[in-house]
C-alpha cells in the first residue's frame, strides 16, 4: 500500500480539554482531550497528546476527519461501514485498529458486538465507537474532568493510553462473564428442584449468550497478538509487559467461555435426562396400570359374552367372580411391588 503523508492534527490553542470542534453547517460530534507537553517515548516532543473521541461517526464526523487528517481513504470507508472484522492496518505514521467488545443491549435483552475503531499515532489517539462502550465513555469522562487522571493516562504517550482503553474494555467483560456463570448455577439448581420444563428456555438463552460472546472474542485473538507485536512503535520498552497483560486477559476470557460452553451443554444433557426419566416414570406407571387391568378386563369380557356361561343368572357366581378378580388384583400388585415396578 502506498505511503501517505503524516496525519495533520490541528492543535488546540491551550493544553486541557477542548470538548467541541469549530462550528459548521453540520456540527460533528467530536470531543477532544489534550495533554500539553511531550516527554513520553513515542509522543511528539513538545506537541502534547490528543485524545479525540467520535461516538457513532457519520457523514459529518467523516468530513471532519478528512479535513484534519490524511488517513487512507479505505480507513475512512471502514469507519462508516458495518460488520468490519477486527484487524490492524500498519502505515508509516499511524496504526488503524478495529476491535469488538460485548455490550449488553437492554432493549433487546441480549449481547451485541460494539465496534471500536482507533487511529493511533505518536501524538494522537482517535477512538470511534459505533455505539456507546461504557468503559471507553467512563475513561474519557474521567480524563476530561480530572487533571490527575489526565496526567496519569496521557503523560506516558499514546501507546500507554491505547493500552488503558483496551485493557479497561476487556476488564469490562469479566462482570458479564460472572453474571453468565451465576445464571448457569441458577439453571442447575432449577433442574434438580423439579423445574426442568421451565429451564429449557433459560438454557437456550444462556447458550445464545455464550455463542454471541464467543463470536466477538474469537476473531480478536490473532489481532491482539499482532497488537502486541506492533506496540513498540508507540510504547516505551519498559512498558512491554502491559500489552502482554491484555493478551492474558483475552485468553482468560476465552477459557471461561470454553468452560461455560461445556457447562451449558452438560446442563442441557442433564435436563434432557431428567425429562426423559420423568417420562419413563409416567410410562412405567401407565404400563403397570394396563397390566393390572388387563386380566380383570379379560375375565369381565368372558363372562359378559352373549352366550351361556357357568353360573349364569346366579348371584353366588357373581360374588365369586368379583372375589376372584379382587384376589387376582392383589396378587398382581404384590408381584409388581416385589419386583420394584411400582
Determine contact, residues 104/173, Cβ cutoff 8 Å. Answer: no
Considering the domain architecture, whether residues 229 and 326 belong to the same structural domain is answered as no
Considering the domain architecture, whether residues 269 and 209 belong to the same structural domain is answered as yes
Long-range contacts of 143-146 (CB under 8 A, 24+ apart): 143/33, 143/51, 144/17, 144/19, 144/31, 144/33
Does residue 7 lie within any of the structural domains?
A: no
Domain of residue 21, residue span: 16-275
pLDDT value of position 311: 65
Considering the domain architecture, whether residues 74 and 27 belong to the same structural domain is answered as yes
Considering the domain architecture, whether residues 156 and 283 belong to the same structural domain is answered as no
* Dist. CA 250–CA 172, nearest whole Å: 12
Return the number of other C-beta atoms located less than 10 Å from residue 269's C-beta.
10
The pTM for the full model equals 0.73
Considering the domain architecture, whether residues 285 and 216 belong to the same structural domain is answered as no
Considering the domain architecture, whether residues 176 and 289 belong to the same structural domain is answered as no
CATH number at residue 257: 3.30.460.20
pLDDT digits (tens, 9 = 90+) for 8-21: 544 444 344 444 44
Considering the domain architecture, whether residues 136 and 217 belong to the same structural domain is answered as yes
Considering the domain architecture, whether residues 184 and 38 belong to the same structural domain is answered as yes
Of 219, 243, 275, the residue at which a domain comes to its end is: 275
Considering the domain architecture, whether residues 157 and 74 belong to the same structural domain is answered as yes
* Dist. CA 53–CA 260, nearest whole Å: 35
* Dist. CA 287–CA 323, nearest whole Å: 24
Split into its structural domains, the chain has a count of 2
pLDDT digits (tens, 9 = 90+) for 109-133: 778 889 999 999 888 999 999 988 9
pLDDT value of position 24: 45
Determine contact, residues 101/110, Cβ cutoff 8 Å. Answer: no
Considering the domain architecture, whether residues 156 and 142 belong to the same structural domain is answered as yes
Does residue 8 lie within any of the structural domains?
A: no
pLDDT value of position 258: 94
Label residue 52 exposed, middle or buried (CB < 10 Å: 0-12, 13-18, 19+).
buried
Residues 6+ apart with CB under 8 A from 241: none
Does residue 226 lie within any of the structural domains?
A: yes
Does residue 64 lie within any of the structural domains?
A: yes
Return the number of other C-beta atoms located less than 10 Å from residue 308's C-beta.
7
pLDDT value of position 125: 93
Within the chain, which residues score under 70 in pLDDT? 1-26, 37-47, 196, 228, 230-240, 306-308, 311-312, 341-342
Considering the domain architecture, whether residues 56 and 122 belong to the same structural domain is answered as yes
Closest among 121, 147, 153, 148 to 135, alpha carbons compared: 153
pLDDT digits (tens, 9 = 90+) for 229-267: 766 666 666 666 777 888 889 999 999 999 999 999 999
Considering the domain architecture, whether residues 263 and 288 belong to the same structural domain is answered as no
Amino acid at each position: 500500500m502506498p505511503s501517505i503523508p503524516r496525519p495533520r492534527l490541528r492543535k488546540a490553542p491551550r493544553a486541557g480539554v477542548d470538548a467541541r470542534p469549530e462550528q459548521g453547517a453540520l456540527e460533528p460530534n467530536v470531543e477532544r482531550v489534550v495533554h500539553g507537553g511531550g516527554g513520553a517515548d513515542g509522543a511528539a516532543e513538545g506537541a502534547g497528546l490528543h485524545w479525540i473521541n467520535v461516538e457513532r461517526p457519520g457523514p459529518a464526523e467523516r468530513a471532519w476527519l478528512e479535513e484534519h487528517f490524511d488517513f487512507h481513504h479505505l480507513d475512512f470507508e471502514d469507519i462508516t461501514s458495518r460488520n468490519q472484522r477486527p484487524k490492524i492496518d500498519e502505515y508509516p505514521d499511524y496504526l488503524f485498529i478495529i476491535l469488538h467488545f460485548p455490550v449488553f443491549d437492554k432493549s433487546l435483552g441480549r449481547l451485541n458486538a460494539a465496534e471500536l475503531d482507533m487511529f493511533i499515532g505518536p501524538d494522537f489517539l482517535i477512538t470511534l465507537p459505533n455505539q456507546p462502550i461504557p468503559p471507553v465513555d467512563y475513561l474519557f469522562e474521567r480524563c476530561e474532568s480530572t487533571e490527575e487522571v489526565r496526567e496519569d493516562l496521557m503523560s506516558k504517550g499514546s501507546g500507554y493510553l491505547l493500552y488503558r482503553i483496551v485493557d479497561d474494555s476487556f476488564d469490562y467483560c469479566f462482570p458479564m462473564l460472572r453474571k453468565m456463570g451465576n445464571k448457569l448455577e441458577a439453571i442447575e439448581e432449577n433442574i434438580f428442584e423439579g423445574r426442568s420444563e421451565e429451564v429449557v428456555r433459560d438454557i437456550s438463552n444462556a447458550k445464545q449468550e455464550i455463542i454471541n460472546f464467543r463470536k466477538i472474542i474469537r476473531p480478536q485473538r490473532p489481532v491482539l497478538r499482532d497488537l502486541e507485536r506492533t506496540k513498540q512503535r508507540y510504547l516505551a520498552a519498559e512498558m512491554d509487559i502491559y500489552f502482554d497483560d491484555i493478551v492474558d486477559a483475552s485468553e482468560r476470557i476465552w477459557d471461561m467461555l470454553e468452560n461455560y460452553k461445556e457447562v451449558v451443554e452438560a446442563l442441557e444433557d442433564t435436563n434432557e435426562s431428567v425429562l426423559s426419566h420423568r417420562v419413563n416414570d409416567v410410562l412405567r406407571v401407565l404400563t403397570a396400570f394396563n397390566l393390572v387391568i388387563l386380566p380383570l378386563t379379560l375375565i369381565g369380557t368372558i363372562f359378559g359374552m352373549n352366550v351361556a356361561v357357568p353360573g349364569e343368572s346366579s348371584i353366588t357366581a357373581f360374588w365369586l367372580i368379583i372375589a376372584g378378580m379382587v384376589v387376582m388384583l392383589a396378587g398382581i400388585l404384590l408381584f409388581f411391588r416385589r419386583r420394584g415396578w411400582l
